[in-house]
Amino acid sequence: MTRSLRISVADDELDMRDFFEKMLPRLGHQVISVAETGRELVEHCRSLRPDLVITDIKMPDMDGLEAAAAIYNETPVPVIVVSAFHDPEFIQRAELDHVLAYLLKPIKLADLEPSIALALRRFEQFQALHKEAADLRQALADRKIVEQAKGMLMKVANVDEKEAFRRLQSLAADKNQKLIEAARMILAVEKALQPVQGR
């Protein structure tokens, strides 16, 4: 079974709110907030930071998809939509708004269980990929700066690449800094020493 999740739910119908509150704990999860409208759901998520959101679409004042988008903007959280409607427009919006499952009413508790597990798993994979991509992008940017700093040293100190890299390393070690920080420092100094241009 999946780990126990803190879940925020939203549905404008009392029967469904009761259902989630009573039945989700039977799957080992905890319902930390119950909302009647999209706006309420957004507020709950802002203050409680749930692990998972289960929401209806058609609700007064703000619909579930709009709420999901607003929540996702603040903190990424997996969202399962449970709706009686499956118009192409809704499905298209759901695709955009990082909805991880779209269940068509009527659903049974038995339908929710695998959906929750899958949605969570997909969300974690999604987040991991996100992080990996961000790390790679950062690594690439860092590498560029280090290369620039190396080139700078080679030119100014008239040394070869290997020596330039060694100097950069020892500078970082002396200052107790990371390599990228030392590289940035060198580039900053280089910029400061440059003659004023184009005045």
Partner 1 sequence: MTADEPLFVLVVEDDADTRGNLRDILELDGFRVVEAGTIAEALDRDDWKRIAAVILDRKLPDGIAEDVLPRLKQLAPDAPVIIVTAVRELECAIQCLRLGAADFLAKPINADVLRARIANIGERVRAERQIHILARMQQESPNPVLRIDSAGTILYANPASQSLLDFWQCQAGQRLLPVHCEIVQSVLQSGNRRDLEIECGNRSFLMKFAPVVELAYVNLYGHDITELRNAEKKALQTERLAAIGQMMAGLAHESRNALQRSQACLEMLEVEVADQPVALDLVARAQHAQDHLQHLYEEVRGYAAPINLNQQPCSAADVWRESWNHLASALNGKQIRLREEIPEGSLTCNVDSFAIGQVFRNILENALAVSPSHGKILIRCAADELEGRPALRIEVRDQGPGLSAEQKQRIFDPFYTTKTQGTGLGMAIARRIVEAHGGRIAASDNIPSGAEIVVTLPRGET
Site for partner 1, rule CB under 8 A: 13, 15-16, 18-19, 22-23, 26, 84-85, 104-109
Q: Toward partner 1, which CB reaches closer, 11 or 179?
A: 11
Please state whether 55 falls in left (phi above 0), alpha (psi between -120 and 50) or beta.
beta
Q: What is the dihedral angle through the alpha carbons of 172, 173, 175, 178, rounded to the nearest 10 degrees?
A: 50
The strand pair at 99-104 and 52-55 is best described as: unpaired
Q: How many angstroms separate the CA atoms of 94 and 112, rounded? A: 18
Nearer Cβ to partner 1, position 26 or 191? 26
Least distance CB 82 / partner 1 (angstroms): 8
Our CB check for partner 1 shows the closer of 112 and 183 to be 112
CB of 17 to partner 1, least distance (A): 9
> Residue 83, class by beta-carbon neighbours within 10 Å (0-12 exposed, 13-18 middle, 19+ buried)?
buried
Q: C-beta of 58: minimal distance to partner 1 in Å?
A: 9
Whether a cis peptide bond, with omega within 30° of 0, leads into 106 is yes
Q: Residue 85 or 178: which CB sits closer to partner 1?
A: 85
As measured in angstroms, the least distance from the Cβ of 72 to partner 1 is: 25
